[in-house]
Every structure is written in structure tokens, then in C-alpha cells.
Amino acid sequence: MWGRIYRSPEGEARMRALYECELKGLGLACERTIVKTRFGSAHVVSAGPPGAPPLVLVHGLFVPAPYAIELFRPLAAGWRIYAPDVAGQTGLSSPARPATRGNGYGRWLSDVLDGLGIERAAMLGVSFGAAIVLDLAACSPGRIERAALVTPAGIVRGMAPKLFVRLLLPWTLYRFFPAASRRLMRRLWDRKVGYDGRFFNLFDAVMRDVKLFVVPPGPFSREDLSRFTSPALVMLAKDDALIPVESALRRATEVIPNLSGTVVFDGPHIPGKEAMILINDKIMDFLGNSGRKRTAEVVRFRKGRA
């Protein structure tokens, strides 16, 4: 297994240990489910009230389910979050990677929904995960009730050549010169990202132990998404080094038929805690009142106890 994703079995063991530590540290009542897909087994972490509306959370590149739930944990008060580990990445799903072309990732996500017994649900995709949601929108649009896309890949073409020196070269050299990590992180992360260093530990393990080059599906055309008529929200980072915000805004209006709104938040590709407050609040508004009342009640209850 490790030969496909990790540089060594020791690297896989380190990543698994971080995964389990993060899952335990969430402090949420999480359930773990294994479902079958055409690309092998998929590991899904679910959190939130079992009777709440379902929300499928598809994580970004090499940021597996527990870390994604941490970023969007306010939503777990009002929705039942289902967070699958993306196939071929650093979670606990099959190491087999779906094909980028031919809606491989979209079909994988459709299989995950089948395994969970979910016919149709709201979707929240982050970065690479947003491109997977768009891939599902291209091949099985009826399965998406509405889609929130945060710093989405799949809308514009990949990084500009100038970013090779700014990002890809430092990534390559990281294992040999880890002191350069903070300069690299500042291009991707909010300096106030917080999260008690856990995300830095994940970042460090990924850079040292994981084979990095994975291409997301897309970019998608208007024709690709012509049958996707559900509401969609696109949220972009003002200082994103990976996704040029102006191009992404323009393309989103061109290719997403029912674009309900766009939001540009301050900061880089991986937002910090302050930006996440805004992001979660906007997503709650977009998803509707079905889970927002429950979320507000929990927040008031916690404040009262404090």
C-alpha cells in the first residue's frame, strides 16, 4: 500500500498516528464507516446529530477527514457531517486513485453516497475536494442538493509557471531543507491559522513522507456542468497562491449555471481561525435554516456555561 502514496512504511505509520490523534482530539462523538466503491474501500467519519440533515464534506489535498471536520466543526451542531477520506490520499480509504478524466472522482463519490444510503445531500468541498464535488455535478448532478465550494480547484486551470519557483520547488526541497518550511507555509496559510500546531504537524508529515503530485479533476466547462442546476456558493481567498481569485470569480460565473453567490475572504489558500468564522457563517446561511437554529442554540448554550 505505502508504495503508492507514501515514501516508506514508516511514513505511513506516522501519518496514521497523526490521523488517530486528530480524530480523538476532536472531542466529538464520531462514527467510522467503511463502504465499498469501484476503487476499493472508502473510510468515512461522521459527526453531528444522527437525525440532522446530511452534509457531505470532501476534504482538500492530503488533509483527511478529521482535520476537515475540525475546520468546519460549527456545522456539526446542526448537520450530520459525513466526511470520506478521499481515495488515493493520506486518509484510511483505498490507495487506488480514481482517474482524473472520465469523472473518476465523481463516480467514486457517488459510490460513497450509495454505501452510506444517501440519495441526495448538501455538499461542502474544499480545494481538491471542491473539484471532486464538481466532478459529481458533471456526472450525477441530481445527487447534489446544493454545493458550497471553498477555495475550489476545478474552476480554473492549474498554477501559473511562475509559481513553480514559489511553491513546487520549495516543496521538493523541503525534506532536505525543512527550515524553509515557514516561508512556504506563509504562502499557503494564514499566519494566525492556530489549531495548536496540529496542522503544522500534518503539513510536515505530508512534505516528508507523501508522494505529492496528484492532479484534481477539471477545469470544468459550462457544457460539463450544464445539467447541474442546484444552488452553488463559491468562496475564494483574496491572497490565494494556488487559485487566482479574479480568474476564478470570472470562470465561476461562466461555468456554474445556478451560482447563488460568491464570497472573497481575507487571507491565503488555507484560512485561519478568524476567516473560518466568516466561512462557516456564510455556509450556514447558504445551507438554510434546517441546521442553523440548532447550531445557534448550541452556541448560546456554550456561552452560557462559560
CA angle at 261 for the pair 260 and 264, rounded to the nearest 5° = 160
**Dihedral over alpha carbons 193, 197, 199, 205 (to 10 degrees):** 140
Residue 207, pLDDT score: 82
Examine the pLDDT at 143 and tell me if it is beyond 90: yes
Q: Tell me how far CA of residue 92 lies from CA of 17, 42, 83, 96, 266, in angstroms.
A: 11, 7, 12, 11, 32
Return d(Cα 263, Cα 210) in angstroms, integer: 32
One-letter amino acid of 33: T
Least confident of 130-144, 152-166, 195-209, 212-226: 152-166
Q: Which residues contact 43 (CB under 8 A, 6 or more apart)?
A: 32, 33, 34, 65, 84, 85, 91, 92, 93
Percent of all residues in the chain with a pLDDT value above 70, rounded to a whole number = 80
- The string of pLDDT tens digits covering residues 223-245 is 999 999 999 999 999 988 888 89
pLDDT score of 300: 31
Note the pLDDT tens digit of each residue in 68-116.
Answer: 999 999 999 999 999 999 999 999 999 999 999 999 999 999 999 999 9
Hey, is 142 helix, strand or coil? helix
Spatial distance between the Cα atoms of 100 and 189, rounded to a whole number of angstroms: 26
Can you give the pTM of this predicted structure? Answer: 0.89
> Which uninterrupted H or E stretch holds 42?
strand 40-47
2-299 belongs to CATH 3.40.50.1820? yes
**Mean pLDDT, all residues of the chain:** 86
- Domain chopping of the chain, boundaries: 2-299
